[in-house]
Every structure is written in C-alpha cells, then in structure tokens.
Structure 1
Amino acid sequence: MSSKKRFIINSFAQVFAFLVSLGITFFLTPYIVSQLGAAAYGFVGLASNFVGYAQIITIALNSMAGRFITISVHQNRIEDARRYFSSVFFSNIIIVAFVSIIGVVVLAKLECLIDIPPELIRDVKLLFFCIFLNFFISIIFNVYNVSTFIANRLDLSSIRTIIANILKAILLVGLFYLFDAAVWYIGLATIISTIYIICTNIVLKRRLTPELSVSLSHFDKNSIKELLSAGVWNVVEKLSAILSTGFDLLLANLFIGATQMGVLAITRRIPTLTLTLFERINSIFAPPWTKLYATDQNEALHRQIIKTLRFFGLISIIPNAFIFAFSDMFYALWLPSQDTKLLYCLTLAACIDLPIAMPLQPIYNLYPITNKVKANSLFSLFTFGLTFVIVFVGLNVTSGTFTHLMIISCTSAVFNIVKALTFLPLYGAHCIKMKAKFLYVCTIRSVLSFTVLLSLLLWIKTMFPQASWELLGVCGVVTCILGTIIGSLIILNSADRKEIFGLVSKLFH
C-alpha cells in the first residue's frame, strides 16, 4: 500500500475513533450529570488530574522510548531496539511499585486534601482507586504502544481505541442501568477498556514488530540512562502542561467549591475533545517524519512540515469556528438544566488560543524527533509560573464566582497565544534548520480563514433565534462546507488542492 493511501486511511481511522469517543461523551455526560450532579462529575476530571501528577514520574523514561526504539529499528539496529524495549518495560514495573505507595497515602487522606461533600466520600475514593489502578496497569505495558508507530499502522490503534470506547460505553450504561448511580463506575469501566487495549497491543506487537521482545537479558542500565537523559526535560514540559490545566480544577475546588469545579469541568470537555482530535491527527505525521529524520532526508522533511501545517490550518478552522459561533446553542440543547450563558462564556475563554495555536500543533512533533526538548520545556515551565501567579493573585484580589471562573479559564489560554506567536514557530524552525517565516505564513493564513468563516457563521446565526438539534446539525454541515471552501482558497495552494482531490479519488478506487 502506498504511503499516501496509508496516510488517508490513518487519518480517517483517527478521526472516526475520535467521533466514537465524542459520541459517547455527548450521550453519557448529560445522563451522568443528571444522575450524580455537576459536583460529582467534576471529581472525574479531578481524579484524572491527580493521575497526571503521578504520571510526571514516568515521563522521563517513557516520553522518548518510542523515538529511540523507532529510530533503532529504521536504522536496523535491532539489538539496541530490544534493549530499549525491555529496559523500559522492567523499569516501569519498578516505578509503579514506588508510585503505588504514594497512591495509598493519597487515598487514605483524600478527604483532607480536597473538598468532598460528605455523602460522596466513599464514592469518590472508589473512583480515585479505580483511576489510579488504571494508571498503574497502563504504565507497565506502555512500551507496547510503539509497534503501530514503528510500522505506521495507526489505523490499527484507532480501531482498537474505537472498540475500547464502545466497550466502555456499554459497561457504563449497564452499570448505571442495573445498579444505583455511582461515579466510581466510570473508573471501573475505564479499567476494563484499558485491559482490552493492553491485550490488543500485545497482539499487535507480535504481528507488526516480532523482532522486539521482553527479556531480562536485554535489560540495560546504560539504555535507561540514555532515555532518562533525553527525556528529563520532557518531565518539565509535562509538569508545566499538567499544572497549567490540572490546577484549574483544583484551584476551583479549593477557592470556589465543588459545584463550580463541576461546571468548569463540563466546559473543559469541548476544548479538550477538540485538542484530542488534533493530537490524534497530529500523531499520524510523527512516524513518517521520524523515518525521514533518521535517514537524513532533510529537504523532504521540510516539505512535509510545510504541507502538514497548511493541512492543519484548513481542518482547524472548522471546529474552532463552530465552537465560537454555536456552542451556546449546543449547551442549551445538551445541558438545559445548567446555566447556558455561563458555560458559553467559560468555553470561549478556554478556547481563545485555539485559532492561533492549533494550526501549529505538528511542530510539537519536532522536539522529540530531533531530541531537542529542553528549550520547549523551560519555556513551558516559565509560562506556567506566570499563569499560576496571575491566577492565584487574581483569585485573592477579586470577588465573584463568575470573575474567578473566567480568570481560571482564560489565563493559560492567553499564554498559549503568546507561545504560538513566538517560541513555537521560532524554535521549531531552528530545530530543523529552516526559515521561520514559512511557519508564520501558515499561521496568518489560518487566522485569516478562521476570521472570515466565523464572521459568516455569526451572520447566519442571526437568522435562527430558536435552537434545535436539527438546526444545529445543519449549521455543522454549513460550517464544514464553508470552512473547506474558504480554507482551500486562502490556506492551500493549487498543488495542495490537486493532491488532496487525487488522494480522495484514489481511496475510493
């Protein structure tokens, strides 16, 4: 199968996996909120954030494992690849044994660490136990994810994710139907779906990369040191990312209350899911880029990067414009019991960076590929420090729940805009020795296209004062059509348009 056709298949598979996840969230979130309340639902996000804090310990080892294993395989250094693979697996077991001790202490004193309504203490503790257990088993088998990356078969990982999400949804519906509602069911369903993913990854590893195997004889301390030394700066970057987003819910819990934390968690779903979609699509480009870098095909890599940024600019304007134009209608239909205007304002505040930052998402692939993550990590830590100080001071010197929620929602987004306009294109270009102006041109065209599309959608919105699911669906179709036309004319060049048309045509022949 040609690389271009494989790209199309991978793209469709990743998008479809996201749509399945989105559908599950769309149907289950209102039901869970109605059964348990916004406060209980907020603890799901908070538990995931706690796991994010624990995950920091594993980042130094695991973040660069895929890069070193993949490059070793492409350069036919199979023994090196086996050493990396086995060393990471056994090291993760040691890490889990250590972190589990911390997890036990956190669970025992959880009600002292965060604000939990008395009637939810047992339920929330069980939720945290399940989420922590899911994290432990995920980390142990994390290295098995690399096989689909090496073979550029991300379509298989997408199919696996689709089935896992459907399994999770079936389990949740069954548990809520058969038993009294409890928030910890979400954690239990997550564990079972993760076990399915792990089993599938083991099968795929044997099928796609049989040359890789786990053996104590391949455990190598020097390989661990090499991975740690390359990945240590990823710890800083991940810490900054987790704290800048994860601390939002924690600060809301401590300064405003559990109920408002739940409201903030709900508004996080749209930007989080949107970013998840683009991270899935972005992951498609990492395997071929890694291969080009490993084989010193620098000019081809430059061409692929520019083409990818134009592609990202085209597809990013559609969801972003829809969020800015119609998310208030969506909330009114999706969660009619909640304050729609508040949800809309908080969502826009959290998404103000997306039109600028999202088209540049592929640049993040360059740091691990070139093994130059230090500067990005330090910049992320610096911006997090400023964000935390501003949010903390803002919460203490201002009053009013709405003001506090807006401060928490938009501060990190503002700094993301600064990063997207300065560091991201400048250092990304430096890593691969190309001119940054090419990256800025892609950003300018994307923002211009977004502005034109949003203006048209807001004008169209004035014609339909009453919201309905049918109308929202029509608006979605209109957004896709207008976005594709506007983006194709402003962002893409004639060669891009011909290539995309040719790829889509070949896919169906």
Structure 2
Amino acid sequence: MGNKRELTINMAASLIQFTINIGIGFCLSPFVVSKLGAEAYGYVGLANNIISYVSLLTIALDSVAGRFITIAYHQGEKEKAERYFSSTFMADCLIALVVAVVAIPVTFNLEHLINIAPHLVDDVKMLFAFLFVQFIITSVSTVLTVATFITNKLYLSSLANTGFSIVRLVVMMVFFGFLPPMVMYVGLGSLCGTFLTVLLNYRYTRRLTPELILRKDAISWPLVREMLSSGMWNVVIKLQQVISFGLKLLVANLMINPYKMGMMSIAQTVPSMVSGLMGTISGLFYPAQTRYFAQGRVTELVYDMKFGMRMCGFFTVVITTVTCVLGKEFFLLWQPGQDPKMLYLLMLITMMGFLVSGAATTLQNVPLIVNKLKTYSISWLLFSITSLPLTWILIKFTPLDIYAVAIVPTALEVLANVTFVPIYASTILKVSNWTFYPVYLQYVASTVLSLTVCIGIKHLLHISSKTWVAFFISAVIYTAIASIITLLTLLGNRERNDLWDIIKRKLHLKVT
C-alpha cells in the first residue's frame, strides 16, 4: 500500500515537472532562436553535449554511490552509509578540481577547437564558462540528492528540478528583455537555477536523513575504490551514449556546418524531453526494485520491472504518437521562419528509436541493481563503436547529409534494445530469456495501432492544426485516443487494477 502511494506521489510530481519543462522549453526555445538565430542557439546544445563528455569523470562514482549508500542505510549500517556519503563528497571535490584545471584553458582557446563565427567567439566562451561552473557545483553536491532516493521521496527532487527550470526561465527573460541578446544568458540562467537546486537538496538531506553528515574522519578511500570498481563500467555505458548521441552536434558542426548543427539542436528538443521523461518514470521504480533485490524477492522484482516497462511505455507511446502526427504543424507554429520539413524529419528519425526504448529503459536499471555492469557496458560500447565511421560513410558517400547524423545512432539503439537488453536482464535475474519480450510486443503493437488510428483520423476528418488553438485541441483529441488504445493494449489486467487502485486512493475512494 505504501509503495503504491509513494509511486502515485512521485509519478504525479514527475509529470508536473515534465509538463512545466515542456511548457518552458517550447516557449523559450523559439524566443531565444528569434533573438540569436539558429546558428547561435546550436552552441547551447553543443555546450551541453561537451559537458556530458566531461561528466565521464564523475559518473564512475556518482552513478553507484546512491546504491551503496542506500543499501547500507536500509541494512541498518548507518555508520557505513555515512562513510560512503562523506567519501563520495570528498572524491567529487577532487574530481571537480581536475575539471576546473582543464576547463579554464579549454574555454580560453575554444575558437581553436570548434567552428565559431568571429562575432560569437566571446559570447560562446562565456556560455561555456557558465556551464562549466554549473557542472562543477553540481558534481560537488551530487551526493546530496541521495536523501530523496533513500526515503523514496523522489517527488521532492522533482520539486527542486522544477525550481531550477523556473529560476532559469526568469533569469533568461530578464537578461534578454533588458540587455542586448547574447547566448551566454542561457548558461547564466542554468547556473542560477543550480544554486537553488543545491540549497533545496541540502535541506532535504538534513530533514530526511539527518544521520548522514559530512565528516572528515568518515572519509575512506578504500570505500571510494570499491565504488569506483563497480561504477567504472558505467563510464563505458556513458561513453557509448556519447558516441551514439552526444557527438551528433559536434559531428554536424565539424563535418557539415554550424547552421545545420543549430537545426539539429532545435529538432532534438522534443526527443530529449521524451527521453528525460522515460528516464524519470523508470527511475521511480528503482528504489523499490533495489529493495526487492536486496531482500532476494526476484518474483516481485520481475513483476515490478514489467509494471515499470508498461507505465514508462504508456507515456512514451502517447507522447510519441501525438508528436509524430502533429510534428509538421508544430514546427510551423513553434519555429516560424525555419525549415519545418528538415526539423520534422530530424525529430521523426530520433523518435523512431522510442519504438522500443520506451519499454527497454526500465530494464536498463537491472545491471546496476544486480551490480553486473561489465558485460552490459562492453556490449553497448560494441554496438555503438561503429557509429562514427558509419556516420562518416553516409555523409561522404550518400546524399543524406545531416539526416545521416540522426539515422545511425537511432538504428544502433533499436538494434541493441531489441537483441541485447532484455536477454541480458533475464540472464542476470536468472529467469527465462523470453520473460520481457511479451511486453515489447505489446508496446510496439500499441505504438503502431495508436499511430495508425490517429493518422487515419487526421486524414479522414481533415483536422486542421494551423493555429495554436487548433493545434492544442487536436493534441488533446489525439492524446485521448492514444491513451485509450495504449491503456487497453499495453497494460494487463493486473496493471490496470493496480493503476485504478492508485487513482481511487488518490481520490480518497474505498478500494474493494
């Protein structure tokens, strides 16, 4: 009962955060593009991608620290949890120092490393400087986010992230409104939002887990090595993601041109948000799944995995359907003056990866829960290692141009999520290799059916979406249709009953 109540609150907060971020992103992006132009806006996405490369230095520790602290905490070893906590903080401080030493010369010599228009050099350098400082502050304070994970109060993290988005918006609007337009305001807004997030996470830690205190005498370098030995394989996974997706804008910048890099950056806005939602929804199940594994309750863990796959898939199917059906109209309204066909095709190619990843995202938690990351990470790396040469070949020898940059990572993602992820998850959980494939089939069927019905209705009824009012009315209609289809075809009886019980409890009705 408690788990379902926590899941309800966490999921509601996550969806509210997602909705706010979507609203801010959709309103802010065209505003910034209109002020700066597509080329300048492209450097925002490029800077964030480069920051993701730098995060390889911290992910080995931070990706597993929460697991080690949580398991020690729930096993009653509060002193050991505190040692993990303090050790993680000190190690992150040292890593942040290394990042600062490297970031300073990189920022000062940025125009020699990437293509930057002469009139944007100083502005882009300041953008990178603000984002590097943000990364350093975030790295040092990452351990403070573990409190909401330990207590399964992830809705508080959603509130903190919502605060980040609002502060970022306010800062950017003030600077763009009263000063000459500059791309560095985006970085400054993110930095200001980060200060609020750190403050809130500190308060959460003190309130939820007062036993976890940063103490110098609790620092243990052997514990840091223990966590690094486990988390180093997450670096390989992150490297795979960088190769497959993070290099998109850099490849576009170096091999095509900055303008098309900017178009790619704009087109990735919706897929990035959907991908973030998938990670958030699947992450809501992670605390309970970790507890099930620690207690040896494999049957409950497998059921929770399937439930997580279906719930994550439910939202992904609905959003993907609406986005694909209304994508052309959306870009015409959202980015007037840009090439809507190019933007739509680039977005559509990336969204095709969600045909399977919406169900697979939850399964990607399994190797971390079981602490068997080596084979998983190496296999993913092998899947993606061919991304760069394949992209280069398509750019050089086919007319695909910028579309090649989107096609290759998406195709590799689909291949890996279909052939490897479910089988490996089944293997390390010691269940049948076909355990999770029925959910896959239901998920794909739900997606195809939802798209077919919505596209058919659009062409049959000639529904217009040429104004924002008509667009939102159409979006509501297609959302309702896709939701009903997905509810009936993706969720099983048990999942529908559980979901209905959650809704009834939320409405304070009696559960029979």
TM-score normalised by length of structure 1:
0.97
Deviation at 1:484, TM superposition (A): 2.2
String of CA shifts for 1:244-300, please: whole Å, max 9, x gaps. Answer: 212110111011111111001001111101111111111110111111111222221
Distance 2:273 2:386 in 1: 26
Q: Deviations over 1:325-375 (max 9, x none)?
A: 111110011111101111111111111110211122111111111111112
1:251 matched to which residue of 2? Answer: 251
CA contact (8 A) 2:454 2:482 kept: no
Partner of 1:275 in structure 2? 275
Residue of structure 2 aligned with 1:444, choices 441, 447, 459: 441
Provide the C-alpha distance between the structure 2 equivalents of 1:44 and 1:436, rounded to a whole number of angstroms.
Answer: 42
- CA drift at 1:501: 1.6
Provide the secondary structure at the position in 2 that maps to 1:45. Answer: helix
- Cα separation, 2, equivalents of 1:34 and 1:330: 16
| Counterpart position of 1:494 | 493
How many residue pairs get aligned? The number is 506
C-alpha distance in structure 2 between counterparts of 1:59 and 1:499, whole Å: 35
Q: Are the equivalent residues in 2 in contact too, given 1:74–1:294 (CA < 8 A)?
A: no
Q: How does 1:79-478 map to 2 (within 5 A)?
A: 79-399=79-399, 403-462=400-459, 463-465=462-464, 467-478=466-477
In structure 2, what is the Cα distance between the partners aligned to 1:41 and 1:100? Answer: 25
Q: Does 1:508 align with 2:512?
A: no
Give the aligned residue type for 2:421. Answer: L
Unmatched tracts of structure 1, length 5 or more: none
Residues 313, 442 of structure 1: 8 Å contact kept: no
Deviations 1:456-476 (A, max 9, x none): 111122212552222221222
CA–CA distance in structure 2, aligned partners of residues 323 and 214 of structure 1: 45
Gap change, CA 1:51 and 1:466, over 3 Å in 2: closer
Query: Is the Cα contact below 8 Å between 1:130 and 1:191 reproduced in 2?
Result: yes
DSSP 3-state at the match of 1:438 = coil
Once residues 179 and 12 of structure 2 are traced to their aligned partners in structure 1, the CA distance between those partners, rounded to angstroms, is 37
Asked whether the equivalents of residues 62 and 88 of structure 1 are also in contact (C-alpha less than 8 Å), the reply is yes
1:441 to partner: Cα distance: 0.4
Distance in 2, Cα, partners of 1:294 & 1:137: 32
CA contact (8 A) 1:60 1:235 kept: yes
More RCO (CA 8 Å, sep 6+): 1
Q: Which digits, 9 at most, give the CA deviation of each residue in 1:97-149, with x for residues without a partner?
A: 11211111211211011000000001000000000000001101111110000
Q: Is the 8 A contact 2:282 2:309 kept in 1?
A: no
Q: Is the 8 A contact 2:329 2:466 kept in 1?
A: yes
The 3-state SS of whatever aligns with 2:303 is helix
CA distance in 2, matches of 1:73, 1:281: 24
CA shift, 1:49, in A, is: 1.1
Deviations 1:401-434 (A, max 9, x none): xx21110011100011101111110001112122
User: More deviation in 208-217 or 314-323?
Assistant: 314-323
Cα distance in 2 for residues equivalent to 1:432 and 1:77: 26
Structure 2: how far apart are the matches of 1:312 and 1:142? 25
1:21 equivalenced with 2:18 (yes/no): no
How far did 1:48 drift?
A: 0.8
Q: 1:63 to 1:466 in 2, by over 3 A?
A: closer
What's the secondary structure of 1:419's corresponding residue? helix
Distance 2:250 2:299 in 1: 46
> Could you tell me which amino acid in structure 2 is paired with residue 492 of structure 1?
L
Task: Tell which deviates more after alignment, 488-497 or 24-33.
Answer: 488-497
* 1:444 maps to amino acid: L
Q: Cα–Cα, structure 1 residues 63 and 417, in superposed 2: closer, same or farther, change >3 Å? A: same
Measured after TM superposition, the shift of residue 9 of structure 1 is 0.8
Tell me the TM-score normalised to structure 2 length.
Answer: 0.97
Is the Cα contact below 8 Å between 2:14 and 2:158 reproduced in 1? yes
Superposed displacement of residue 58, structure 1: 1.1
Contact 2:36 2:182 survives alignment (8 Å) = yes
Runs of 4+ aligned structure 1 residues displaced above 6 Å come to none
Give the RMSD, CA atoms, in angstroms.
1.3
CA contact (8 A) 2:463 2:474 kept: no
**1:315, distance to aligned residue in structure 2 (A):** 2.5
2:346/2:406 contact within 8 Å kept: yes
Q: Which runs of 5+ in 2 are unaligned?
A: none
Give the share of equivalent positions with the same residue, in percent.
31
Q: Is the 8 A contact 1:147 1:208 kept in 2?
A: yes
User: Is residue 243–residue 384 contact of structure 2 (8 Å, CA) maintained in 1?
Assistant: yes
Q: Secondary structure of the residue that 2:181 maps to in structure 1? A: coil
| Counterpart Cα distance in 2 of 1:349 and 1:495 | 34
Q: Is the 8 A contact 2:92 2:139 kept in 1?
A: yes
Report if the CA contact (8 A) 1:47-1:128 is conserved.
yes
1:64 alignment partner, SS class: helix
> In the alignment, is the contact (CA less than 8 A) between 1:236 and 1:381 conserved in 2?
yes
Asked if the contact 2:292–2:301 (Cα under 8 Å) also holds between the matched residues in 1, the reply is yes
2 CA distance for matches of 1:334 and 1:310? 31
CA contact (8 A) 1:72 1:78 kept: yes
- Cα distance in 2 for partners of 1:55, 1:313 equals 28
The one-letter code sitting in structure 1 at the alignment partner of 2:418 is L
| Cα distance in 1, alignment partners of residues 119 and 339 from structure 2 | 24
Question: Displacement of 1:224 after TM fit?
Answer: 0.8
Deviation at 1:174, TM superposition (A): 0.7
Report if aligned partners of 2:130, 2:187 keep a CA contact under 8 Å in 1: yes
Query: Deviations 1:195-220 (Å, cap 9, x if unpaired)?
Result: 11001111100111111111110111
